[in-house]
Amino acid sequence: MKCPLALVIALILSVSAFAKSDSTILTKTVTDSGSIIYTKNGLTLTLNNKSVNFDTVVLRQRLVATFFEVYPKLLQTFNPDATKHVVFNVDSAYDGVAYASRGQITFNPGWFVKHPDDIDVVTHETMHLVQAYRGGSPGWLTEGIADYVRFKFGVENIGWALPAFKETQKYTDAYRVTARFLAWLEAHVHSGIVVELNTALRTKTYTQNTWAELTKKTLDELWADYAKSPAL
């Protein structure tokens, strides 16, 4: 061999590449109580299946894959200090769609039977964990930000879109209506406003004046501008 140094370097590179990729592999362990614990890149997801008479294998794989794709991006963008251990409860006794609370998200498996393409419910709900607001935040804005994040970071969003603007809408309508307003603000008024609003809400510095501090206009003035020219 004429060039052993190159070989050694190549070997070192390949070993370090292997060591690096190793931490990105999803590992899975099953506890005595039946919980499944997944770890990857410093994140842990515990999945508790409390559903009965329901095969959740496909749903479970999609929930887990969506979490590990979206959650690192949301942490990095909005709150690197948010919890690194998340619990998913798949619970057929719960008859809503899903809700997030204190590091846990509860899903109704029946919802995904009827709406198999709605996996970005995971994106919306995990954003609530990243938001980690400690009370006092306007609910319409909290939900509007979570749906804006679904719009921006969702992995599929099949059959889900921001609704067209209508004169009857208000910014307090929450969810997708508010999300579309936030998308418009990002595009036409102040790029990065959602990150800044999120930080203000999390650190409890948010007030009605926050809008004017960021854009020089009040919330009502911004909405009036949006209503006049709502194209994204």
Name the site residues for Zn ion (rule: CB under 5 A): 143, 146
- The count of residues in the chain is 232
Nearer to Zn ion, 40 or 127 (CB): 127
Residues 6+ apart with CB under 8 A from 183: 148, 151, 152, 162, 232
Q: Please identify the residue of the shown chain whose CB is closest to the bound Zn ion.
A: 146
Angle separating helix axes 57-78 and 121-131, nearest 10 degrees: 40
Compute the least distance from the CB of residue 179 to Zn ion, in Å.
11
Nearer to Zn ion, 40 or 74 (CB): 74
Nearer to Zn ion, 40 or 87 (CB): 87
Compute the least distance from the CB of residue 213 to Zn ion, in Å.
26
- Displacement of CA 123 from its chain's centroid (Å): 4
As given in the structure block, the two tokens for residue 227 are 């209503």
Nearer to Zn ion, 40 or 150 (CB): 150
Compute the least distance from the CB of residue 128 to Zn ion, in Å.
6
Compute the least distance from the CB of residue 125 to Zn ion, in Å.
7
Residue 191: C-alpha distances to residues 25, 183, 185, 219 (Å): 34, 9, 7, 16
